[in-house]
Amino acid sequence: MDAIQAPIVAVIGDLIRRSPGTISLGQGVVHYGPPPAAIQAAGSAVGRDSSHGYQDASGQPELVRAIETKLRRDNGIDVSRGSRVMVTAGGNMAFVHALLAITEPGDEVVLPVPFYFNHEMAIQMAGCRPVLVNTDARYQLDVDAIRAAITSRTRAVVTVSPNNPTGVVFPERALLELNTLCRDRGLYHVSDEAYEYFTYGGVGHVSPGSFADAAAHTISLYSLSKTYGMAGWRIGYMAYPEPLAGAMAKVQDTILICPPVISQVVAAAAMEGGPEYCRRFVAALADIRQVVMAELGALEPLCSVPQADGAFYCCLRVNTAADPMRVAERLIREHRVAVIPGTAFGLTHGCYFRVAYGALEQATVAEGIGRLVSGLRRILGGS
């Protein structure tokens, strides 16, 4: 555990608490809650006897059915072609389950950099080795570099699209090339799609699990935390290859036994309304994103921000030799704005920051970005 990084959001949260009035562009959360129908469903579930006992390990049948329908409709994944669904307490847990099901200690898992920090942490906790492979200058996948990193110990390649921390959306061509590579080399492709509905400017989301022949080696991870604003209810799920059912059952039984029952009722009610619920929030985020990109774009050449068409992040590359954690601390202490240093995402060479804009109203984000821009100029000695 000593070798594993501390949860960065908590570290930054601590600093924020010590500097009241700080605007947080740190944590990756949305500013809205679940649909009213879901909250109502929670109310009635509390009093039902069936809410208080263990339920089906893979998830309540109504929720699993709703998920299967959604996978077919929105992701092009037909589970009758060799996949199974498992509901978990959030997408992070689905990732851990998948790792435990497919690896043994000493195995390697390829992570494109920047990575989602909990993926690296989970791989290390499972006794495996994260093999870090750089993305290109636009944070896009470098499939040739991934191919070159594969060894006899490699078990899986992980992708996150839309991406945390960069906001980049990987195009179908790259995902297909990588998914095919995984198939040909006997590897799993673990595809984290927590931000599947968060894309902008006509850019579409592609699920690798929808590719022909993908079912046998693709594990697709999803979360209700962002889409339905229900991070605290802890519901995620995955579609995974049928032959892993025995292994997944062992992991689920040991770690969760069954997903929280009332949360599943809330999830099923939320999913009944479908992703239309989040579309208006995504439309508002699209406007906020324009403001963020324009303001940060004005920092050139001090900083650059590659195109970010998804999630609610962008990843700022700063031309300085300064230590990003020190800069982040000063931004909070002296300029009352918080961002996450890129080191948490494996960007250890250079100075990078993840900017998250999902948690705040437009005016607050604009104020926060203003503070970030002037703060970086002051700290780094720009104009």
Site residues, ligand PLP (CB under 6 A): 28, 90-92, 116, 160, 164, 192, 194, 223, 225, 231, 236
Report, in Å, the least distance between residue 338 CB and ligand PLP: 16
244's CB contacts (< 8 A; 6+ apart) are 84, 101, 102, 219
Secondary structure (3-state) at 360: coil
d(C-alpha 63, C-alpha 67), whole Å: 6
Least separation in angstroms between residue 49's CB and ligand PLP is 28
Residue among 218, 217, 221, 185 at smallest CA distance from 97: 221
Which residue lies nearer to ligand PLP by CB, 115 or 211?
A: 115
Which C-beta is closer to ligand PLP: that of 267 or that of 288? 267
Looking at the Cβ atoms of 28 and 114, the one nearer to ligand PLP is: 28
Q: Given the complex with ligand PLP, which of 90 and 346 has the nearer CB atom? A: 90
Task: Compute φ and ψ for 267, nearest 5 degrees.
Answer: -65, -45
Q: Considering beta carbons, is residue 154 or 166 the nearer one to ligand PLP?
A: 166
Q: How far is CA 18 from its chain centroid?
A: 28
Q: Smallest distance from the beta carbon of 234 to ligand PLP, in angstroms?
A: 7
Name the closest residue to ligand PLP (Cβ). Answer: 90
* Least spacing, CB of residue 274 vs ligand PLP, in Å: 18
Which is closer to ligand PLP, CB of 251 or CB of 373? 251
Based on CB atoms, which residue is closest to ligand PLP, 22 or 263?
263
CB of 381 to ligand PLP, least distance (A): 33
Q: 134: which residues sit within 8 A by CB, 6+ positions away?
A: 112, 113, 142, 145
Residue 151's alpha-carbon distances to 133, 219, 245, 285, in angstroms, are 13, 20, 26, 41
Helix axes 261-273, 36-46, angle to 10 degrees: 150
Q: Minimum CB separation from ligand PLP for residue 311, in Å? A: 7
Closest distance of CB 90 from ligand PLP, Å: 3
Distances (CA, A) of 234 to 272, 313, 340: 18, 21, 23
Nearest to 225, CA basis, from 29, 382, 21? 29
Q: Which is nearer to ligand PLP, 120 or 192 (CB)?
A: 192
Burial letters 217-256, b for 16+ CB under 10 A, else e: bbbbbbbbbbbbbbbebbbbbbbbbeebeeebeebbeeeb
- β-bridge partners, 108: 129, 154
**Shortest distance in whole angstroms from residue 116 CB to ligand PLP:** 4
